[in-house]
Structure 1
Amino acid sequence: MAKTNDRTTQQQQPSPSLKWDILTLLAVLLLLLCADLFVPPHVRPVDLKDPAYNYPHIPDIVPTPTVILVAFFAPIVILFVTQLSRLRQVKYLCALYVLALFESNVITILLTSVFKSVAGRPRPYFSSVCESYAENVENLCTGHPSAVREARKSFPSGHSSLVFSAATFTFLYLVHGLRLGEASTSAGLAKMIVALLPLVGAGLIAVSRTIDYHHHFSDIVAGTALGAFIASFVFWCRRTSITKAMEFEQGDGNEYIAVTSDEGSV
């Protein structure tokens, strides 16, 4: 028994592939920072009298720091709450979940940032921050440069893509963790409602971006689709690792099927 436990403990240690995944994630973060700082958005000619771009510039209903906190930490809180009674026994599952969540969110942010710069679509409040065009210089706004730069990054919605990345990933985890397909009818309905709550919250945050005039409706649709797709793709890639970890940690603990390097990343 001691030998089996030693093997189990050893197999739950971070694998080399897991360490490489973390390093890759850090590299992607660095790439994201460089792209945001040094890649200017595409400059489109905009008619400042166009009603589509003449909305007032008001503060975010849901500030960006709040969105980041919700997207990265709310799913972790949900994980801990669902596994509260046996946190010590599910360390490996928690590590897999947190890493995959961060992968989904970081990839979503990176792609959103790239698409924003390439598209260069003006926000609905563009005319308010552009103010007017400089004489003899085409498409050069007289407003504050950083505000004008940000006003050219409407498509797709970053708030929508990030919150739906986190919400979709959390939804998929809850569907697997709560075993919705195996529950009774009454219990299944309650669990389905719980599993859908992250998506409802994400939807409210996304819709708020039209209320504060920071995005067009199509920006929100595109951001939602992007975040949901990336989260689904990452979860699908990690499904074997997460499923095996769940099966082991919900069992008697005497058998553990480690995800080795020949199966791909953990």
Structure 2
Amino acid sequence: MKNSEEFDDSFMDNEKVVLQSIAEDLRTCLPVEAMLPSESLAVEKAQQNCKPTVHVDAFLYDEEAVDLLCEEGKMSRDYCLLCGSHRTAPLGFISHSFSALELRFLFQNVLPDLSGKMLVDVGSRLGAVLYGGCLYSSAAQLVGVEISAEFAKLQRMVMEKYDFTDRIQVIHADICTQTSLLQNADVVVMNNVFEYFLESSEQMRAWHCISQNVRKKGALLVTVPSVQEALAALQGKNGVINIHEWLEELPLDYDVYLGKDTDPESFKQIHLYRVL
């Protein structure tokens, strides 16, 4: 019964309802692709992928919402291999936010009890990690650092509407100016935070800042993609970061059931590290 779709359809936790309500609010404030005009570099990088790629924010649009947009002609899952023909192939989708299900996995299956702890979300964007942490964890403080004034404003709007201001704080700043915050963080989350938004030299500068300041012994770092993958294309530019002297990767159990939409493959993009 626990794993049946009938059970899933008849039961929806309050946290999921709140997250869906937040997503609906934010969808009215953003274009379908949830990208701002100032994010031209991210759009350009997505267009450079060998496979045509579009940004679909996983927090704002679950599979059912994407299907509805496709039915309405506002989005497509496919692109034409030869214009005018019936030869099509699936588009690549990229998200810079966790989905509601991934947030539940993160706080219930990846991270330990966060009572009394401070979590910092680097590049908090729409604030999904902050809202998920507020609903699914006992973290004492959830701090988002967001370089975009527009996104920081949207997060504050949600915080006030849903009475999250007692535990959530959003700082409009470059993460490299927040060294004290990083030094005191118990958990740092980084979800697709640099690759699409910064040039290589700036990415490396940001990684150096992270590696030099996230040094509290036992602190946890959550990343998408893995630190190894993120740094692979950057090493040799402005210095090398020795990951093995800084972090140890912790094994995760991705084979968990969180409802009929559970997708272990999406969970596998999430990596957890402990500061040595």
TM-score band, normalised by shorter chain: under 0.3
Which structure has more relative contact order (CA 8 Å, sep 6+)? It is: 1
Structure with higher helix content: 1
TM-score normalized by the length of structure 2:
0.26
TM-score normalized by the length of structure 1:
0.27
Which structure would you say has the larger Rg? 1
